[in-house]
Chain A
Amino acid sequence: QVQLQESGPGLVRPSETLSLTCTVSGGSISTYYWNWIRQPPGKGLEWVGYIRYSGSTKYNPSLKSRVTISVDTSKNEFSLKLTSVTAADTAVYYCARGNGLGAMAWDDHWGQGTLVTVAS
């Protein structure tokens, strides 16, 4: 059974870069696609972006200028970098496995999530 685990700092200073890693176990990262999704406290879900094992990416247009998602197939992990963070980026960040083909896609395995707080 595939499992995902997020890791990274729980506190980031304003204007700095948020960096998170998702480690995939129980399956290879060299297939499917791999998402980051976030949820501000008490609010709904917001898709951040995804990366395919090939390295191609797709980002939320509202975050595109600040987001980079990368994959390291040798470590079976993928990562998120979000630059110039503000308090509005405070959220629980989830990584999730994407399944399906093309636009026919769904997220069938999720990590437990990690809370990142942006504060000085």
Chain B
Amino acid sequence: DIQMTQSPSSLSASVGDRLTITCRASQNIGSYLNWYQQKSGKAPKLLIYSASSLQSGVPSRFSGSGSGTDFTLSIRSLQPEDFATYYCQQTYSFHTFGQGTKLE
């Protein structure tokens, strides 16, 4: 099984900050990596697919990069509505989510 490890597990930030969340796969997954945002009590929302493609309607301050085993989600100029939990997901072999990064 492919394991996905996100870091950090939680992160304190302020409006206007630029931040980066990391996701590491236990084996090479190419670019088969997606990022989701989940707000409390709500369903997850797709932000980035195929490692770096921005989903339609998602603000351009979100960006993704990486391939192989190491991936990052970056948020430029954090907004109040960005405080949420973020998950990475690999689809190379079955589907596996990271444990989440809570932005506080």
Contact = CB atoms under 8 A, between A and B. Distances in A.
Interface of A: 35, 44-47, 50, 58, 60-61, 94, 96, 99-100, 103-108, 110-113
Given A106-B46, A108-B46, A44 B55 contact: no
A44 B49 contact: no
Contact of A106 (B38, B43, B50, B94): B50
16 contacts: A44-B98, A45-B44, A45-B89, A47-B94, A47-B97, A50-B95, A96-B43, A100-B50, A103-B30, A106-B49, A107-B34, A107-B44, A107-B46, A110-B43, A110-B45, A111-B43
A103 B43 contact: no
A100 B36 CA distance: 16
Nearest to A106: B49
Given A44-B87, A94-B43, A111-B43, A105 B100 contact: no
A61 B96 CA distance: 11
Given A47-B94, A108-B46, A110-B43, A103 B32 contact: yes
Given A94-B44, A103-B32, 18 more contacts: A44-B87, A44-B98, A45-B87, A45-B97, A45-B100, A47-B89, A96-B43, A100-B50, A104-B32, A107-B34, A107-B36, A107-B44, A108-B49, A108-B55, A110-B43, A110-B44, A112-B42, A112-B43
